[in-house]
Structure 1
Amino acid sequence: MPLPLLLALTLQQATTLPPDTTRLRQQLPDVAVRATRRVLALRAPGETKGLQTAFGRELTPTAAVAVWHGPPDSSRVYVVRAVRVRLGSRPPTAAKDVPKVRRNFSEGAIRLWLSPGSQTGGPQPAQNLLAAPLLLTANTTAKKGWVRFDVMQQRLVLPARGLFVVAEGETTGSETYVKQRSLARPLNGKNLPEDIDFQKAKPKKGHKGVETFRCVELRRADGSSRLALTNAFPTLAYRQVPAPANSQSWIRRIRQPDKTVFWRSVPQDLAPLRKAFPEVSAPDYNYELELEVEEL
């Protein structure tokens, strides 16, 4: 049979097969089809409130905070890609600083790590799920306050009960923290540092509280000491939430005089203030410590 006629008959037969006729599909060897994996940013709820959240909260040495993040879908597996932190704007020290967004800092650093723990039980800060802590220093580049640390190579799976992003204030270099001090006069090099006596101090005319100048005493490697203003240390940005149930943030406190370290949630931390001063507005909040995860 001539080749053209054979091709025509074959084509006619292929197009006139009954609908229920089984057709064999040719399999392409060594070809894998993969669905696109979703990348998600896990961010605690909250919103900015103008001047109420315009300035970040100081993270001086020994201070520490944490934010809980859990799997968006309990039936899926998530791998942590990055840790994200947003620096807050430091309060102005003079009228000329008011228009500026002062997210830079000249004292201290922030140590970051991931800790296991549940939203109701708090972090287990002694455990670090990363190979080593992350360090945010004054030389770290921040775009609009955001700093991103890539941890994808560690292939850390987000635990089913979630984890905490922990941020702790650190000293600069080899210095060690001594204590916090409240001075009666500005630390300007002209006045000798004098701790304020709150029992004798009186408010200025037109002011409800006593004006103080807060600083941190640091000890150098050679044994000498120096004072650094607290507003020179980094601050963390935060956002307000409408109700205590929306807060996923925890704060580390040190009980005096035995120096017992403990953690409590933001609503628990604000409870004494609300009880003592019911007329004072003290909204709950979340720090801007985020996780970037990949859904498998």
Structure 2
Amino acid sequence: MAGPDRPRIGLSTSSVYPESTAHGFAWAAEVGYEAVEVMVGIDALSQQSSAILQLIDHHQLPVSAVHAPCLLFTQAVWGLEPWGKLERSAEMASAVGAEVVVVHPPFRWQRDYARDFVNGIAALEESTGIAFAVENMYPWRASAKRQLEMYLPGWDPSDEDYANTTIDLSHAAIAHDDPIAMAKRLGPRLRHIHLTDGSGSAKDEHLVPGRGAMGAGAFLRHLVATGFAGEVVLEINTRRCTTREEREADLRASLEFAREHLAPAASAADVRESGAGS
């Protein structure tokens, strides 16, 4: 279980897609995760606070965060008005006991929404008491030499004055960004982690941490060494798993990786080793 010296480790319900939100809770409980992040999506259960409360009670697992429906394929969930979606996400977070709503920056075509996004997020945090942790995204690559800037005011939350932010390692891989450097830029504004991995390709891979090129272990050790007090949530892609056993193996490997590299002793050793070589 989580102790005073390391962050809580949760599982995003998106990690078991296309299985349901209910399956996400069941997997988290079975494998040994300490919390759940609810991805609000096309699964009707994910849109209902009453259903989430029943899952919390049944599995005795808390909800650490609610992910607002701001993906391309969830654009119609809870209507088309983006601020209304965020208000409903905050209402769900409050109802289920979560302190964080994870949100993506607006797409470029959402110009009215994007125009005052930074100030609007701050106003929502003030009015709701919920932290809106804006997630790092990435430029879309049309080719090896051509990138499309698809987010406003931008894909890198460290460029804006958000009070709370999320780092996703798969997104950092696409952007060819160093997650430790981003964490340093964000400082205490880093509130939430989507632990995963990526190879650096143009695809949003969401690999099991440690199976990509992002130095996920060193990133976790950096978090513990610098006193990160937020949530670490595994958000991996298990859609290619053809059997229940394969999915379970990936979920267990992800949890074991997080536990190993969030261990205070490992982090302290890493800091001593870095100091010796400086």
Normalised TM-score (structure 2): 0.28
Normalised TM-score (structure 1): 0.27
Greater Rg by CA: 1
Higher RCO, Cα 8 Å, sep 6+: 1
